Chains A and B, each alone.
Chain A
Amino acid sequence: MPHLSRASFFTSRKHKPSSTKMATLTMSRPAVAGFSFENCRRNVILEGEVNNLGCSLPAARKTGTTICGVVFKDGVVLGADTRATEGMVVADKNCSKIHYISPNIYCCGAGTAADTEMTTQIISSNLELHSLSTGRLPRVATANRMLKQMLFRYQGYIGAALVLGGVDCNGPHLYSIYPHGSTDKLPYVTMGSGSLAAMAVFEDRYKPDLEEEEAKRLVRDAIAAGIFNDLGSGSNIDLTVITKGNVDYIRPHDEANKKGVRLNELEALQLTGDYKYKRGTTAVLSKCVTPLDLEVVEESIQTMDTS
């Protein structure tokens, strides 16, 4: 059988006229789905360079947190503290950690603040479209599936630990969702750095079929345990009570850490903890008013086509 020798193939190429050039093709990269981690590589290089100069890069803001939820007779109660920390400094003394998912479903978020915020907003948007498509009020199990499938897809890199609660046609439901994508359906859950303190309160005092006031007290006490015993949690306690057909978004439910009043020794006056000062606090030494003569040089109107 004739053997197609490789040498002949190569020699034929050599005889190509040198003036023919292949046109340079510029191919744009097709759009890649999902997150692009290009900036992570850039950040690592930047960090090295910046550290050589003796400074450091800004840290991601985390909600070192206490969040919890409890199922009671007619619905669910969700609770959260309101401190957001950036390392060892409090970045926000009154941030809102209970996020809206749908009219009957709310979600508390612990972990990286941006991740919990964006994840809940994405799922809220998708759930609204889904609800319009089905023509029904969304179910908590649907929100749970959407959240866990998204978090699993990102293999734990989205640092969002969530407590999802709501009331749908099948009754009240409560789920805890971990950053890697596992979920637990339980009558009471806690998450965040203060979760152990809050869980201690729940394990002591939880009973099935609580009344609404009892459940609110229990959640308030659990969050308070987290606030006072965990450095990453603090400030006020927010509560959300979800029942069939009604949501009470109580923010704040309890100002557990109220800022005290300061005394001004010189004037023995009680100043409010307010940063607004009355007119006259700063003495005006002189006043000079210069009117500016402006004349209209040119005026043109451009109508916008809003058809």
Chain B
Amino acid sequence: MLGEAEPQWLSEEVKTGTTIIAIEFNGGVVLGSDSRVSAGASVVNRVMNKLSPLHDKIYCALSGSAADAQTIAEMVNYQLDVHSMEIGEDPQVRSAATLVKNISYKYKEELSAHLIVAGWDRKDGGQVFATLNGLLTKQPFAVGGSGSSYVYGFVDAEYRKGMNKKECQQFVVNTLSLAMNRDGSSGGVAYLVTIDEHGTEEKVILGNDLPTFFDQ
């Protein structure tokens, strides 16, 4: 028997071809993601929550290779737990983002995952950090994943400074809906996480409750 090709599903890496977004408002942040995980042409998980907690008031949004992203998030979760015990108080969002950046930069050749870190701390309020390819930059909002390419125009045009919490949530849901409609690797349901000084609120918006636009 000649050496045959390995079955596709064994060698295909599981990717979270994704749309993720995080935006800061006065007093907190809103994170949003879709829920599709694909291995090649097959969807292996249609309800994955890509908003992963790093600490009580710090979340990260996963995109890229599922294994790499999950592993980074779990490692940083552990490191943040140790760090917060050492300093005796809740960690800063900047610390969490730095830990993610350190792993992403050191192993940038081997990893293929992008995590957006966002949260609220007492010192600087709501913050959003992008850690693509090992850089660390604080931004008013960040989009990521394969679906983000389709909505750069929308977010650039529609973003205004000084939106309140409700407007931010609506902005995130609209962005996700548009991206999920155009990107084949994004879909399923939309997960929303809102973090402010009072607490963390997780919400799921099912497919038929997402806003529709003119072509639907």
Contact = CB atoms under 8 A, between A and B. Distances in A.
Contacts of B44: 176, 178, 184
A159 B6 contact: yes
Most buried by B among A111, A181, A192: A181
Contact of B48 (A64, A148, A184): A184
A266 interface: no
Contacts of A176: 44-45
Contacts of B135: none
B115 to A, nearest CB: 14
A171 interface: no
Contact of A86 (B1, B39, B65): B1
A88 interface: yes
Contact of B7 (A148, A180, A232): A232
B4 A181 contact: no
B179 interface: no
A184 B1 contact: no
B10 A59 contact: no
A297 B10 CA distance: 62
Given A161-B9, A196-B42, A57 B3 contact: yes
Given A181-B71, A184-B45, A56 B39 contact: no
A118 interface: no
Contacts of B190: none
A62 interface: yes
A87 B1 CA distance: 7
B3 A59 contact: yes
Interface in B59-85: 65-67, 69-71
Which secondary structure dominates where chain B touches chain A? mixed
Given A180-B67, A182-B67, A59 B14 contact: no
Nearest to A232: B7
A64 B7 contact: yes
Contact of B37 (A58, A89, A149, A184): A184
Contact of A87 (B4, B13, B14, B69): B4
Interface in A104-159: 111-112, 148-149, 151-152, 155-156, 159
A153 to B, nearest CB: 10
B129 to A, nearest CB: 23
B13 A180 contact: yes
A155 B110 CA distance: 9
A123 to B, nearest CB: 17
A112 B4 CA distance: 13
Interface string B24-50: 000000000000010100101101100
A55 B71 CA distance: 43
Contacts of B110: 155
B67 A161 contact: no
B100 to A, nearest CB: 17
Contacts of A243: none
B2 interface: yes
Contacts of B48: 184
Contacts of B7: 62, 64, 193, 232
B4 A59 contact: yes
Contacts of A161: 9-10
Contacts of A196: 42
A179 interface: yes
Nearest to B48: A184
Given A180-B67, A181-B71, A186-B45, A111 B10 contact: yes
A86 to B, nearest CB: 7
A43 B48 CA distance: 40
Contacts of A58: 1
Contact of A89 (B1, B3, B9): B1
Contacts of B45: 176, 184, 186
Given A64-B7, A156-B13, A159-B10, A180 B65 contact: yes
Contacts of A87: 1, 4
Contact of B10 (A152, A179, A184): A179
12 contacts: A56-B1, A87-B1, A87-B4, A88-B4, A112-B10, A148-B67, A148-B70, A161-B9, A178-B66, A181-B67, A184-B37, A193-B9
Interface of B: 1-4, 6-7, 9-11, 13-14, 37, 39, 42, 44-45, 47-48, 65-67, 69-71, 110
Those 5 A-B pairs whose CB atoms lie nearest each other, nearest first: A182-B66, A181-B67, A182-B67, A180-B67, A87-B1
